[in-house]
Structure 1
Amino acid sequence: MTVERSRITVRGAVQGVGFRPFVARLADDLGLPGHCGNDDVSVFIEVEGQPSSLSEFTRRLRTDAPPMAVIVDMAVQSLPVRRDESFRIVDSRHALGSRTLVSPDMATCADCLRELADPSDRRYRHPFINCTNCGPRFTVITDLPYDRHNTTMAEFPMCEGCLAEYIDPTDRRFHAQPVCCPDCGPRLFAEIDGHRLDGDDTVLTAAQEALRDGKILAVKGLGGFHLVCDAADADAVATLRDRKHRPDKPFAVMAPDPTMAAELCEISESESALLRHPARPIMLLRKKHLAAVADGIAPGIDDLGVMLPYTALHHLLFTPPPGSDVIPPQVLVMTSGNLGGEPLCFDNDDARTRLRDIADMFLMHDRHIAVPCEDSVLATEHNTVLPIRRSRGFAPLPVVLPSRGPEVLAVGAEIKNTFCLTRQDYAFCSAHLGDMGSLESRRAFETSVRQLTHLHGISPRTVVADQHPGYSTRQWAQSYSDRTGTPLHTVQHHHAHVASLMAEHGLVGTTVLGVAFDGTGYGCDKTVWGGEFLLVGPDILTTRRVGHLQAFSLPGGDAAVRNPVRVALALLHEAGVTDSEGLPCVEAIPAAERASVESQLSSGLGCIRTTSVGRLFDGVASLLGVRHRITYEAQAAIELEALARTASQPASLTMEVENDQLRLAVLVSGMVAAVRDGTPPADIALGFHHAVAAATADIVGRAAAANGVTTVGLTGGVFQNRLFLELLRAHWENSGYRVLTHHRVPPNDGGLSLGQAVIGAAAAMRGPRRRQPPTSRPGTGAT
């Protein structure tokens, strides 16, 4: 009988998640002697036995791993046979300067939920129940290594019962750092009208009564506060919108279970799997016509953001306490605890101050949140995940890079901000931070950078920023560079988008034809880009623009972004349409504003030239009467996509391609003619999507053939439009192209920092370079 020995090194979030006991049980199950242990960056395993058993062991390490374990990579090497008699867990090994990976927060597991509902269990209805397979991780960590004294649970000493579980390798709570029970854990309390309520059931009864009465609650969760109300109560939803200053942007909702989620939305198998994922993200799902939520939840669109409960407290909000006659709401609004444009509230005192004019009641606890973390948002496209916001449950797990490189800090974009740190062959993207338009947001950004660099023990060799001179992140990076002497490297916006896609697919070192469509990005010619075809080479540092959307004017610059009606007039002007009377966009704009815009367009004064596909979608939305003014980013384009999905058939429209440009005249003129002919707006909207997709595929075909490229990447915020993605895929079916889309980081600016980081690391490895002064100018053409 052949016996072999293997050493298996498993890297990833595999510490503090029950991985070593799992390995020991698996080895015993397969009759394999050996040992396993932790070092600072991995779990090391040695096992010996028949080759078939070793192969099965290696396979099941991945397939049967504990729920909170995330295997980044696994290396196997052969060793001489030692003839061990049993399998054992050995002591950990530590090396100076090494840092473990930080695990993300995960939803309450099924075992803990059974205990939560069991009156005979000592953790019955305990709002902070958790075990090795679930609960807070990233949001409670203050330092590494991940031990209880380095978490915000340090102030809650374990009772004898919890300690006994914690030190027992056979127990589900072995080395679960947040382990606690009603005797030793955090405390739930509420504040309403200046009065404090204590006692779990007293607090929960009061919260459910407040929700029944149409009140707004501020509820402290894992990574911050939510603002919560009854999703079926139209008046409560309207009140929340008014107080939060959020007139139209959709609210996310929480359903108590998958059955209720299915009553609200159409859910495919892939969507159901993601909805139930231990990260418990918000899933964008197709809303059913008679969904039992107020119309004001997601006005003007056909998607609904739905998530399932991910803490015991959430589950208890849907469950009346024993003896209570209150019937809790069936579905709850769960939206970020902040005002529009501000960072998430995660501290009790901060929430009392910033949310006092929004919330009628505060439902809080006394466990501090070390690191704020918003909910993640996912969609599916082509039965695969499409990240919209990567945060709780996923951050700060790394993207593995092809090779080790220098330590880099990339500061990301101005909206949907994340930053990225590289260490060895890992790229750590932060949780979602939001828009950098306020002083509070910039302070939150700086705090988060300080926290994550401390956790990973990183002192960046290079700081990387967008080339836009007006971005506050660029200005922060310049200040950081001046203060620390760290070289500053700037990266063109769309180059970073394509590099981000290449990095998450492990294709740095190859050539990719990137299609980067978004709303705004500072171009190499100092105009606003956003409809770019970029050829990025194997060194990741060089890119060549091989096509783009025809430039048009944005009258008033940012004012046009907020007012798609102005973009519509600009498109008509660029296309040479002189007879615009009676069109929806013309009817919607006051005469004085129209005259001002037309004067700007004729003279060019006060206009910015752009190639933005995002702005094209906005302008078409106004041209068809869908949306003339917006109150949140991409509102017009989102509503245009929703309208297009209701079409009976696409209007026959064409977008011409000339000199590697997507041309506007024929497309815009065709839409004007269709409007005048009485073609339904939905059919025109769908025809527009078809026309842009066909023209995009045409330019890709020309550029790919000319440059011998077969890998095409789709990136930028426009590729959150799943209808547009589907139409493009249809053009390339059986074409031989390898088509890349985002699955790890968002296509929008939330994924930009990853691309900045890999470009910055490549630049740093190229050798010393002169620091770029604040007045440095980007090149024109190749970057």
Structure 2
Amino acid sequence: MHTAVRITVQGRVQGVGFRPFVFQLADLHQLDGTVQNNMDGVKIYLKGSRKSIELFLQDLRKRAPRLSKINQITVEETEIQDCSNFTIIPSERSGTSMLVIPIDSAVCDDCLREMNDPDDFRYQYPFINCTQCGPRYTIIEALPYDRPYTSMKDFPMCDDCRKEYEDPTNRRHHAQPIACPKCGPKVGLLDGSGGQQDSENPIADTIELLKAGKIIAIKGIGGYHLACDARNEHAVTKLRTRKNRPMRPLAVMAASIKAALEFCEISEDERELLSSPESPIVILKKSSHYGLAEKVAPGMSTIGVLLPYTPLHHLLFADQELPCLIMTSANPSGLPILYKDDRAVQYLEGIADYYLVHNREILHPVDDSVVQLNDGKLDFLRRSRGYVPDPFTTTLDVSGIVAFGGQQKTTFTIGRNQQIFVGPHIGDLENVETIEHYGQELEHLLKWVDTPRWHAVMDVHPGYQAQHVVREYGFKNIIEVQHHHAHMAAVLDEHRISGEAYGIILDGTGYGLDGNVWGFEIYHGDGAEFERVAHLQYTPLPGSEKCIREPWRNAAAMLISLLGDEGVDLAEAIFPEKVSEIAILKAMVENKINTIYAGTCGRLFDAVSAICGVTRVSTYDGEAAIHLAELVDETIMHESYPYQLIDGEVLTIDFSKMLREISLAVLAGADIATVSGRFHETVVQAIVGAMVRIHEKRLAFEKIVVLSGGSFHNRYLRKRISEELSNRGFRVYVPETVPCNDGGLSYGQLAVAAAKRRVETCVSASLQK
């Protein structure tokens, strides 16, 4: 006896071959009905035996396509309709959106096999794709995800492509970017001024130009990259000079895992990350036989590596004489990634020698994601292509909440029901172009997510650009969240911790509620509220931002402030060429001229890095701390320097004695790697000691600790603090799916706002009773 059901599937179920999968599953179980995309997911109507429907539902979840992610399946019985087969029907564009926007995915093995098959009609076609790979988010104009609402609408399908597109048994059925050499996008080669080059094979010509040491701007899925031969010291130096990027490490794209093993070490877990559909840049250890140009990652023991993730990338590695390329985002300093052809030619003139372009428009630019394995767990330095805008789920109702993030490494986050959508990496909100880019991407995601605009959430810092941007959107309520509470709340929400916990937050800069700069904090609280229970002793930053750009100034001011006349003598001995300037810094500190006070992990690392002679002037954010951390041997148990914990209303961590000993050790010619290791261990022991002392006064509370803030990208700090606290009975949680740096700030802001709203709702309900 036949029965009928209506099934709603929500999650990442569009743009991943879900409808043809359902079609084939219905055929397997001899069921009639329909499947349809609409604004809240995929709708399925089934008619057949109850047993067959039960088997269908089991397979629906177990055998779903690899790029799909099912969040919810709803089944309800319905009237039997008159149908005698199973069909895929046109999408429905009305209704409230519950869609998960499809993400861009690395080219799959099936498509690569076809691309390399001389008998296939897509042989060497650089835009081959199917339902399991290719561009998605970057080409979407509107939802639901259908070809007329993407930038592929400009390429009418030929008969061969349409036949595959309309065949429910074909893996390209309703693959919206489907294309071939006859009907799809094409590549072209431009000279340095943007003039069209006469080239029969632009990709082959590009390979020869790269081998000749040229710098090529290459248009990819999410924007332009600048590429050159990673083994050619002259080419890498030229790229650095032209791009004005003297020290910041450059990412390397290797032709394969085998090619990458020629210059770096790769664990099994790192191999899986490199080869995943998301295909991020993975931070890896350089190997002992490292053979790339020294200026790829100067002074570093690690290197960022990714594998080819588009067909075009794979074709560029067809020549075995070119096994690895620099592949760095093509953006002028401080500006968003370039993705429009005319602006790329405008901004990259004088930087790129040639441009390898294509005529498929990029609608939403995305940078490459950057990850590392940190103490065996995933650690996002940048969450973007391949992951965005895939939503997180939460136990809180986050509808109508939009969080605007911070000033650096900015993202925004939008809440809908129990879904959290974190937008792509935007960058630093320091210029008009980046702010415009931020607004453009926010507007698109707000439209697609389709949630009310009830609560806008932003950092308390009065100077952040988000303070101005947020007021343009007409929200009913604006909530300000302290920077480090947002970091803490992000981890609490990620790990579903609803009660009280401790938060150890280490970063470079966060606006403090007392007007000073915070960034070395221990909090106690929950998602809604916090209490500051410990912090690093404040030291002056004479000249404010100049101390951040020139860490030697910060170091000298720190020594003067903490050690008085002895500190002046030490500063002059360590920086003898700066004696006259040190006198000026001393006067500024004593008279509080253009001087702010800070207690942050970032500035502490900057100071020690400068004292050790590692980095005295920074060319990019975090450089001093990164290079200091690179010196540490993580396999050695280091001895700590002395420090003090000063009791008070808020426990204060004082590193005066440590800085004195480090300064004397450096002047005595101590091994800098040993000094760095001992410094790191001192930070660990001071935090653990503070944590134990604090908890001894609060024994009623559970021993739950979350770690966050950008300084926890430091492998040694994350591992050793986690180990030491765990050994003392604390349960330690770290960010694994959201960056611990400011890229995760907007997520935490939204979590705080949702937690506050839940508390207010509970209080209101209690009062009404």
TM-score by length of 1: 0.89
User: Do structure 1's residue 606 and structure 2's residue 604 form an aligned pair?
Assistant: no
1:493 aligns with 2:483: yes
State the alpha-carbon separation in 1 of the partners of residues 60 and 689 from structure 2: 45
Q: CA 1:601 to 1:444, structure 2 compared with 1: closer, same or farther past 3 Å?
A: same
Match for 1:196: what amino acid? Q
* Aligned 8 A contact 2:399 2:451 in 1: no
Give the distance between the partners of 1:32 and 1:364, measured in 2 at CA.
Answer: 47
1:371 and 1:681 map into 2 onto residues whose CA distance is 45
- Do 2:24 and 2:169's aligned partners in 1 also have CA atoms closer than 8 Å? no
Deviation at residue 89 of structure 1 after TM alignment: 6.0
**Which residue in 2 is equivalent to 1:365?**
358
Per the alignment, in what secondary structure is the counterpart of residue 403 of structure 1? coil
- Structure 2 distance, partners of 1:192, 1:10, is 49
CA distance in 2, matches of 1:167, 1:115: 19
Instruction: Please say if 1:74 is aligned against 2:72.
Output: yes
Structure 1 residues 371-428: Cα deviation after superposition (integer angstroms, max 9, x where no partner): 0110000001122210000000000111112133331221111111111111221111
> Is 1:695 matched up with 2:686?
yes
Distance 2:277 2:575 in 1: 50
Amino acid in structure 2 at the alignment position of 1:19: F
Q: For residue 197 of structure 1, what is the aligned residue in structure 2?
A: 197
Q: CA deviation at 1:198?
A: 5.8
Tell me the residue number matched to 1:425. Answer: 418
Matching residue's letter, 2:507: D
Task: Provide the secondary structure at the position in 2 that maps to 1:196.
Answer: coil
Partner in structure 2 of residue 617 of structure 1:
605
User: What is the CA distance between 1:430 and its match in structure 2?
Assistant: 0.8
Do the aligned partners of 1:27 and 1:87 also contact (CA within 8 Å) in 2?
A: no
Is the Cα–Cα contact under 8 Å of residues 23 and 168 in structure 2 kept in the other structure?
A: no
Q: Secondary structure at the match of 1:345?
A: coil
* TM-aligned CA deviation for residue 760 of structure 1: 3.0
- How far apart are residue 21 of structure 1 and its match? 3.3
Distance in 2 separating the partners of 1:551 and 1:24: 65
Equivalent in 400, 403, 415 of residue 407 of structure 1: 400
Distance 1:475 1:85 in 2: 57
Structure 2: how far apart are the matches of 1:160 and 1:5? Answer: 36
8 A contact 1:378–1:388 mirrored in 2: yes
**Structure 1 counterpart of 2:457, from 460, 464, 467:** 464
Corresponding position of 1:547: 534
Number of the residue aligned with 1:637: 625
- 1:15 CA drift (Å): 1.5
Tell me the distance in 1 between the aligned counterparts of 2:675 and 2:52. Answer: 60
Task: State the Cα distance separating 1:599 from its structure 2 match.
Answer: 1.9
Matched residue, 1:593: 581
Q: Is the 8 A contact 1:650 1:687 kept in 2?
A: yes
Structure-1 separation of matches of 2:388 and 2:745 = 15
CA distance in 2 between partners of 1:666 and 1:471 (Å): 35
Report the CA distance between 1:35 and its aligned residue.
7.9
Shift of 1:686: 0.7
Of 493, 502, 505, 1:503 maps to 493
CA RMSD for the aligned pairs? 3.1
How far apart, in 1, do the equivalents of 2:43 and 2:131 lie? 19
In the TM superposition, residue 449 of structure 1 has moved relative to its aligned partner by: 1.5
1:516 partner SS: strand
Aligned partner of 1:441 among 434, 440, 450: 434
- Equivalence for 1:658: 646
Q: Does 1:559 align with 2:552?
A: no
1:721 maps to 2:693? no
Could you report, residue by residue, the CA deviation over 1:670-711 in whole angstroms, capped at 9, with x for unpaired residues? 323433554311111111111111221222233345151232
After superposition, the Cα gap between the structure-2 partners of 1:405 and 1:583, relative to the gap in structure 1 and judged at 3 Å, is: closer
Q: What's 1:777 paired with?
A: none
Partner Cα distance (1:26, 1:148) in 2: 24
Measure, in 2, the Cα distance between the counterparts of 1:100 and 1:197: 43
- Alignment check: 8 A CA contact 1:270 1:384 kept: no
Distance across 1 between alignment mates of 2:141 and 2:754: 27
Partners of 1:489 and 1:582 lie apart in 2 by 46
Q: Which amino acid in the other structure matches residue 723 of structure 2?
A: A
Q: Give unmatched runs, 5+ long, in structure 2.
A: 762-769
Correspondence 1:516 to 2:505:
yes
The correspondence for 1:350, drawn from 312, 325, 343, is 343
C-alpha spacing 1:203/1:553, structure 2 compared with 1 (3 Å)? same
Distance 1:545 1:649, change over 3 A: closer
Which stretch shows the higher mean deviation, 493-502 or 111-120?
493-502
In the alignment, the residues of structure 2 paired with residue 621 and residue 584 of structure 1 have an alpha-carbon distance, to the nearest angstrom, of 16
Farther off after superposition, 366-375 or 578-587: 578-587
Code of the residue aligned with 1:535 in structure 2: it is H
1:381 aligns with 2:384: no
| Distance verdict in 2 for CA 1:584–1:171, change over 3 Å | farther
The AA in structure 2 aligned to 1:426 is: Q
Could you tell me which residue of structure 1 aligns to residue 674 of structure 2? 683
Deviation at 1:288, TM superposition (A): 1.2
- 2:307 alignment counterpart: 308
The whole-number CA distance in structure 2 between the counterparts of 1:366 and 1:592 is 58
Q: Deviations over 1:27-56 (max 9, x none)?
A: 777899998655532346779999999699
Tell me, in whole angstroms, the C-alpha distance in 1 between the residues paired with 2:450 and 2:5.
32
| CA deviations over 1:291-349 (Å, ceiling 9, x no partner) | 221010111111100000011111111114xxxxxx65221001111111111110000
CA distance in 2, matches of 1:85, 1:485: 48
Supply the AA of the counterpart residue of 2:284.
Answer: L
Q: What amino acid maps onto 1:210 in structure 2?
A: L
Pair 78,371 (structure 1): closer, same or farther in 2 beyond 3 Å: closer
- CA separation of 1:50 and 1:274: change in aligned 2, threshold 3 A: farther
Report the identity percentage: 37
Amino acid at match of 2:694: A
**8 Å Cα contact 1:577/1:669 also seen in 2:** no
1:96 aligned partner, one-letter code: G
Distance in 2 of aligned mates of 1:457 and 1:573? 55
- 3-state SS in 1 of match to 2:590: helix
TM-score for the superposition, normalised by structure 2: 0.91
Name the amino acid aligned to 1:571. M
C-alpha change, 1:75 and 1:691, in structure 2 (3 Å) is farther
Give the CA deviation at 1:616: 0.6
Q: Is the 8 A contact 1:6 1:76 kept in 2?
A: no
| Residue identity matched to 2:144 | P
Q: CA deviation at 1:62?
A: 5.6
Q: Which position in structure 1 is the counterpart of 2:662?
A: 671
Counterparts of 1:670 and 1:53, CA distance in 2: 73
CA pair 237-165 structure 1, distance change in 2 beyond 3 A: same
Distance (whole Å) between structure 2 residues aligned to residue 352 and residue 35 of structure 1: 48
Per the alignment, residue 514 of structure 2 pairs with 525
Identify if the C-alpha distance between structure 1 residues 578 and 704 changes in structure 2 by more than 3 Å, giving closer, same or farther.
Answer: same
Alpha-carbon distance in structure 1 between the residues aligned to 2:414 and 2:406? 14
> 2:478 corresponds to which letter in structure 1?
L
1-side partners of 2:331 and 2:321: how far apart?
A: 24
Q: What residue is the counterpart of 1:180 in the other structure?
A: 179
Aligned length: 751
Amino acid at match of 1:261: A
Q: Measure, in 1, the Cα distance between the counterparts of 2:739 and 2:133.
A: 25
The one-letter code of the counterpart of 1:110 is D
Distance 1:4 1:571 in 2: 77
Aligned residue runs from structure 1 range 207-226, under 5 A: 207-226=206-225
Question: SS at 1:306's partner residue?
Answer: strand
Give the direction of change, closer, same or farther, for the CA distance of 1:688–1:53 in structure 2 (3 Å limit).
farther
Q: Counterpart of 2:672 in structure 1: which amino acid?
A: P
Partner letter of residue 528 of structure 1? V
- Separation in 2 of the partners of 1:593 and 1:738? 47
Q: Which runs of 5+ in 1 are unaligned?
A: 321-326, 769-783
Shifted more, 39-48 versus 588-597: the winner is: 39-48
Contact 1:39-1:94 at 8 Å conserved across structures: yes
Tell me the distance in 2 between the aligned counterparts of 1:93 and 1:582: 72
